[in-house]
Copies of this chain bind each other. A is one copy, B any other.
């Protein structure tokens, strides 16, 4: 595995060198993890002119031996509680003769940036920008297989919950049960706070579970994901509680389902991000639900649940093969509830069968 990380660091090295920096300091946690595997919390990675060093805060906060790290990377653990790994890394870069250092200005705070500059005043600080985030967009086979397992775990937890009695239980309870099941089956944890949204809450993105109990006649939206070895996925479904759905529920569900299918089918290499969003959105628009929609209908997913690319009307860029994204349109009618359907898929060429669905829970409208 350690060659994988070394290769990723080499690609990043080519980029910041071409942009005129001799060293780079990576501080955003998911970026550090991408470039060197599991790392202690708060660790900062220096790609230096002489050596690459993972600088970790004092050991007591994470326990010695916590983060396994590739053998080709030096690990420096700070001894005091007040040391900032970013500052220590900049010191090292300067000591190794670097005159310029690219840092993640979208992650470092103004105060840390100033501390880095003061510690190594002869170092010219530049902006690394979102270079690592860009590298992370296209996933390799190992990453995708982690995400495939994350998808299976989420499907499994959801499938089991649906076999139990739901009426009378609170959103909060159901969310906790789902998270317990995820971990029981081998997830490292939930990929994000589980959404359970009943009745008037259904269909709302990112709804935080409340004490609302599930009632007959409700729409019930559940959205969950697993974290497996750092990689995440997301599955969301909406159900009807009771023997049979009302007409308005069937009609609304069909519209969101059609929108979501349009988005999924658009996932091919070379398609513009905004076009995936457009085909999804226009189904909702045409059915009269264009008002109050969220500003995007999907997003990239991997080491973070919400990463590049964004599938929205203003997004720039085109899909590549091996890019995992969510497609997750939703409609929420204030006071009545609504429908959301989320899947995680990997973009694949048509010759390989088109998009690979990682979350296979049925999308038929189930009456539970």
Contacts and interface: CB of A to CB of B under 8 A. Distances in A.
A213 interface: no
Interface in A148-165: none
A63 B180 contact: no
Interface stretch (A103-111, A134-142, A218-226): A103-111
A363 interface: no
B110 A61 contact: no
Interface in A256-277: none
Interface string A18-47: 000000000000000000000000000000
Contacts of A310: 81
A362 interface: no
Residue of A109, A207, A294, A314 with most chain B CB atoms under a 10 A cut-off: A109
B60 A294 contact: yes
A321 interface: no
A126 to B, nearest CB: 11
Contact of A60 (B62, B108, B172, B292): B292
A60 B109 contact: no
Contacts of A296: 81
A351 to B, nearest CB: 34
A308 interface: no
A343 interface: no
* Copies of this chain per assembly: 2
A168 interface: no
A312 interface: yes
A157 to B, nearest CB: 12
Given A63-B204, A206-B62, A314-B82, A109 B108 contact: yes
Nearest to A187: B172
B61 A294 contact: yes
Contacts of A179: 176
Contact of A295 (B58, B106, B176): B58
A206 B110 CA distance: 28
A113 interface: yes
A224 B172 CA distance: 19
B105 A109 contact: yes
Contacts of A11: none
A288 interface: no
27 contacts: A58-B295, A60-B205, A60-B293, A60-B294, A60-B295, A61-B206, A61-B294, A62-B206, A63-B204, A63-B206, A63-B207, A81-B295, A81-B312, A81-B314, A105-B111, A105-B114, A107-B109, A108-B110, A109-B109, A109-B110, A110-B110, A110-B113, A111-B127, A172-B183, A173-B183, A177-B180, A180-B180
Given A60-B293, A105-B110, A176-B180, 8 more contacts: A60-B205, A64-B334, A81-B310, A81-B312, A105-B111, A106-B109, A172-B183, A177-B180
The 4 A-B pairs at the shortest CB distance, nearest first, are namely A81-B295, A105-B110, A60-B294, A106-B111
